[in-house]
Amino acid sequence: MKTTFIAYILIAFIITSTRLLSIDSTESYFNWLDKIGITSSFDYYFLSTDLRQIPTIPDSIRYFATGYNFGFSLGFYLVSTFSPKLSLSTRFLYMNGHANISGSAWSESNISNKDTLSLINHEFTTDLSAFTFEPLIEFETIKNLSIIGGFYFSYRINNPFQHNEYLIKPDTGTFYNGSRTRIVEKEFQSFSSFQSAFTTGIAYKIPFTIANNGNLTLSILYSYGFTSIADNFIWDLNIARAGINFEYSFNPPEKKTNLPLPQNNIEIKEEPKDTIGQITEQIDEQKAKIDLKIFGFNLQEEGKELKTIEITEYIRENSFPLLNFIFFDNGSYTIPDRYYKISNLDTKNYIYTKRRPIVESINKGIDYVYHDILNILGYRLKKHKNATINLIGCNSDTLNETNDTILSFNRAKEVRYYLESTWEILPNRITTEVRNLPKNPSNNNSIDGIEENQRVEITSNSQEILAPVEYEDTVTIINPLYLRFRINTLNIKKILQVKISIIQDILENKVFEASENIPENIEVILEKNIIDPIISDYIYIRTHFVYLDYKDIIDSTATIDTIRVVKNEIAKFLSTKSGKTIEKYNLILFDFNKSTIDKDKLIIINKINNKISSYDKNNTEIKVYGYTDRVGDAKYNLGLSKLRAIETAKLIKFHPITTAGFGEDKLIFDNSLPEGRFYSRTVEIIIERNK
């Protein structure tokens, strides 16, 4: 058990360390020796052993001995810095401590020259003083507070051992030495000189002034021992430490001055004096200089250039259609794992609109809504007591599924069993049918079509059971949309290379790199290149330059620009563009190779018509865009998508309506799964209104 736990720790530490250290250490922020320090700690030892394993104790039932002892540590350490928040602290320690543990066990012993069942207390002592090497990774989670992880490896200076026994029961009698106490072993030769442990903990840094270079750090560490003190039996050692460290930095942070903001710096909303602090390294005494100026802007219709950075989260209301098919693997009637399943107990607190975080992706609606269809059906059937459903089991009727209606039956049976056993839906509310191909089959001459025909179709006597799913998600809006980088030089002949990265905490994303034809202005889309706008209060723009100075010497330098992230409170989302309110609907799904709208889809059209009936037609514009999946000829699909848009527009009581089709040129869902292809057979209705 312990070996497995250790293996998990090692694997987790290796993966985490690799990720943390993945930041490019060849550029400016990396420093092999950034700080030195001295450390001391008060140590508390936790010790335990199994008495049965000790050679001097007769093997009987399992008993344990435990002990708790105090000690201290002294040493020094070196710090290597990888990023503003990540560093490696290499510690060299002298750890002073003793082991004193005891435990009682029943055994047959010679008491007063007679073998007697006796209760004996065993006491063990040894010296744990050791020289220790301890590499630790430190990651600053919030300002001045870091989490720590690493290992220690120690060499014990000496291994004295003593085993004392104290007679507890019977109340009378003595050992062979005439005393109720005896020393069993003074020296035990099977002790290990080397120990190792996994260390984790936290540290809080308190800056103080020694030429602006000093820090006082308070830490709490816990070391979980990998190895035993003894060689031939288990003697566990774990240590808790409360420490205090004093460290000196060779590279103190630059002292900030309150200078007026240059016009081309990014302004930070409500905090102009903290906007951008730039660190520029000058390479030679002739003052060859190169740095980066950063602008933020949005491309708006009036062409106004903006210079503020802010992050706003909105709650957005969504409506997503529920595809009434469940797809199966070839030749199988087992419901695939991508469909979410829960236990009967979990149904008591199930709310399908608030069940798990939403992952932003092209397949967001499918992952969040459709793959939960089994539980949505169960929830709605429990809520609407008079509703019934019909399950139609189908197969592809080709290859190994040819005329296999038993497979179709088993597919419908699996869905029925889940609803009855998990959601406790009464059997008389579920009917089943079987057939080979579905009533409206996909093209069986392609693999995609075959996959789509391997399904169970669901119909209901109630519109509520298969109605679109309403849910809320969070939209993050980043302002500005774009960053423009402008390179400024002095006494430099030519720029040979430029690398620009955006850093958040330990995460780094390279947004630009060029070795020739370097433009004067470099523009990037901030939304696409920022890693996660919510995880930190700052982002860092790191730029690495290689250049040829006026002496024809190739040199390099780097800059780090710090930008504060201003986060606004979460609010309701209103989709707007240039003073317009925008509504989007993509609730209509079409059958394979069809452009006609079924009667059950007319409900959605009627709801849209009711909503727009009160809109001012002079201030309203409606667009309908058609889409298809990837199956079939691209040119044919383009025409089909246009026809879907036209047929939908005919049913909307508004004129004029702009229509367009994109075919398979613009796939709005992942088409690698059959459900993605079905959801791609849709139209998008966009309603824009002037405020």
Co-location of 617 and 683 in the same domain: yes
Which of 374, 387, 409, 393 lies closest to 460, judged by CA? 387
Could you say which of 552, 571, 590 is where a domain stops?
Answer: 571
Q: Strands 580-589 and 576-577, how do they pair?
A: antiparallel
Written as one letter, the residue type at 100 is N
CATH number at residue 626: 3.30.1330.60
Give the confidence band of 256 by pLDDT, cuts at 50, 70, 90: very low
Average pLDDT over residues 619-627: 91
Provide, rounded to the nearest whole percent, the portion of the chain with pLDDT above 90. Answer: 29
Let me know: does 295 contact 305? Beta carbons within 8 Å. yes
Lowest mean pLDDT among 90-94, 345-349, 615-619: 615-619
Intra-chain end-to-end CA distance of the chain, in Å: 66
Co-location of 172 and 88 in the same domain: yes
97 within domain boundaries: yes
**Averaged confidence pLDDT in the chain:** 79
Could you say which of 446, 463, 496 is where a domain stops?
Answer: 446
Which of 678, 481, 438, 689 lies closest to 583, judged by CA? 689
CA distance 165 to 104: 9
Write a three-state SS string for 114-128: EEEEEEEEEEEEEEC
For the CA atoms of 588, 589, 594, 598, the dihedral, rounded to the nearest 10 degrees, stands at -60
Which ranges in 145-249 belong to alpha helices (H)?
A: none
pLDDT of residue 271: 41
CA distance 70 to 53: 25
Average pLDDT over residues 461-477: 81
pLDDT above 60 for 24: no
Give the confidence band of 639 by pLDDT, cuts at 50, 70, 90: very high
pLDDT of residue 297: 59
Let me know: does 48 contact 101? Beta carbons within 8 Å. yes
Co-location of 105 and 219 in the same domain: yes
262 within domain boundaries: no
Question: Phi and psi dihedrals of 180, rounded to 5?
Answer: -85, 10
Co-location of 538 and 649 in the same domain: no
- The DSSP secondary-structure symbol of 346 reads G
CA distance 505 to 140: 8
Domain count, the chain: 4
Higher pLDDT, 240 or 18: 240
pLDDT above 50 for 273: no
Let me know: does 628 contact 676? Beta carbons within 8 Å. no
Which of 420, 463, 461, 455 lies closest to 435, judged by CA? 455
Co-location of 527 and 563 in the same domain: yes
**Which distant-in-sequence residues (6+ apart) come within 8 Å of 438 by Cβ?**
392, 394, 453, 455, 457
Co-location of 514 and 591 in the same domain: no
pLDDT of residue 150: 92
Burial 490-520 (b: 16+ CB within 10 A, else e): eebeebbebbbbbbbbbbbeebbeeeeeeee
How many CB atoms are located within 10 Å of the residue 655 CB?
8
Higher pLDDT, 682 or 163: 682
Co-location of 501 and 375 in the same domain: no
Higher pLDDT, 171 or 271: 171
Could you say which of 249, 266, 298 is where a domain stops?
Answer: 249
CATH number at residue 562: 2.60.40
Lowest mean pLDDT among 51-55, 224-228, 563-567: 51-55
Place of tokens 């009581």: 653
How many CB atoms are located within 10 Å of the residue 295 CB?
19
Query: Would you call 678 exposed, middle or buried from its count of C-beta atoms within 10 A (0-12, 13-18, 19+)?
Result: buried
Supply the range of the domain harboring residue 103: 28-249
Co-location of 68 and 128 in the same domain: yes
Measured over the CA atoms of residue 423, residue 424, residue 429 and residue 435, the dihedral's sign is: positive
Let me know: does 530 contact 508? Beta carbons within 8 Å. no
Lowest mean pLDDT among 80-84, 239-243, 497-501: 80-84
Q: Strands 161-169 and 276-280, how do they pair?
A: unpaired
Provide, rounded to the nearest whole percent, the portion of the chain with pLDDT above 70. Answer: 75
Co-location of 64 and 119 in the same domain: yes
Question: Phi and psi dihedrals of 450, rounded to 5?
Answer: -60, -45
177 within domain boundaries: yes
pLDDT above 90 for 454: yes
pLDDT of residue 309: 66
Co-location of 161 and 228 in the same domain: yes
Co-location of 298 and 332 in the same domain: no
201 within domain boundaries: yes
Let me know: does 111 contact 165? Beta carbons within 8 Å. no
pLDDT above 80 for 629: yes
pTM of the model: 0.47
pLDDT of residue 40: 94
DSSP three-state, residue 453: helix
Helix 373-383 vs helix 405-422: crossing angle, to nearest 10: 60
CA distance 602 to 643: 17
284 within domain boundaries: no
Take residue 661 and report the two structure tokens written for it. Answer: 């089709």
459 within domain boundaries: no
233 within domain boundaries: yes
pLDDT of residue 301: 40
Written as one letter, the residue type at 461 is N
Q: Strands 521-525 and 235-249, how do they pair?
A: unpaired
- The DSSP secondary-structure symbol of 260 reads P
CA distance 63 to 146: 40
CATH number at residue 75: 2.40.160.20
Co-location of 156 and 183 in the same domain: yes
Take residue 544 and report the two structure tokens written for it. Answer: 């690495």
Write a three-state SS string for 530-579: CCCCCCCCEEEEEEEEEEEECCCCEEEEEEEEEEECCEEEEEECCCEECC
625 within domain boundaries: yes
